[in-house]
A = this chain, B = another copy of it.
Amino acid sequence: MAKPPLRVGLIGTGFMGKAHIFGYTTAARVFDLPRNIVLDTVADITDEAARAAATRYGFEKATSDWRTIVEDPNIDVVNITAPNALHKEMSMAAIAAGKHVYCEKPLAPLAIDASEMTEAAEAAGVKTQVGFNYICNPVFGLAREMIRSGELGEIRAYRGYHAEDYMTDETAPFTFRHDPQGGGAFADLGSHTLATAEYLLGPITRVMGDTVNVIGERPDGKGGIRKVEVDDVGRAFLRFQSGATGSVEASWIATGQKMSHDFEVYGSRGGLTFSGERLNELRFYPVSAIPGRDGFRTILAGPNHPPYGEFCVAPGHQLGFNDLKAIEVAGYVGAIAGLHDEPFNFRAGWRIQSLVETVHRSSQQERWLDT
Contact = CB atoms under 8 A, between A and B. Distances in A.
Nearest to A298: B295
A259 B29 contact: no
Contacts of A199: none
Interface stretch (A71-79, A173-181, A260-268): A260-268
A210 B237 CA distance: 7
A291 interface: yes
A113 to B, nearest CB: 26
A262 B134 CA distance: 25
Interface stretch (A82-90, A305-313, A332-340, A350-358): A305-313
Given A305-B292, A320-B317, A312 B19 contact: yes
A353 to B, nearest CB: 22
A245 B233 CA distance: 9
A321 B319 CA distance: 6
A138 to B, nearest CB: 10
A227 interface: no
A370 interface: no
A25 B15 contact: no
Interface stretch (A42-50, A101-109, A217-225, A246-254): A246-254
A259 to B, nearest CB: 4
B170 A268 contact: yes
Interface in A246-295: 247, 249, 251, 253-259, 264, 266-271, 273, 276-280, 283-287, 291-295
A32 B58 CA distance: 11
Contacts of A316: 164, 258-259, 276-277
Contacts of A283: 256, 295
Contact of A304 (B291, B300, B314): B291
A292 B233 contact: no
A314 B214 contact: no
Among A165, A264, A268, A318, max chain B CB count under 10 A is at: A318
A26 interface: yes
A119 interface: no
A157 B279 CA distance: 25
B315 A322 contact: no
Contacts of A210: 208, 237, 245, 247
Interface string A155-183: 01101000011101110000000000000
A312 B25 CA distance: 15
A39 to B, nearest CB: 9
21 contacts: A25-B26, A159-B249, A164-B314, A168-B268, A168-B287, A169-B287, A233-B245, A247-B249, A251-B266, A256-B270, A256-B271, A258-B317, A259-B314, A291-B304, A292-B302, A292-B305, A293-B299, A295-B297, A312-B322, A319-B322, A366-B367
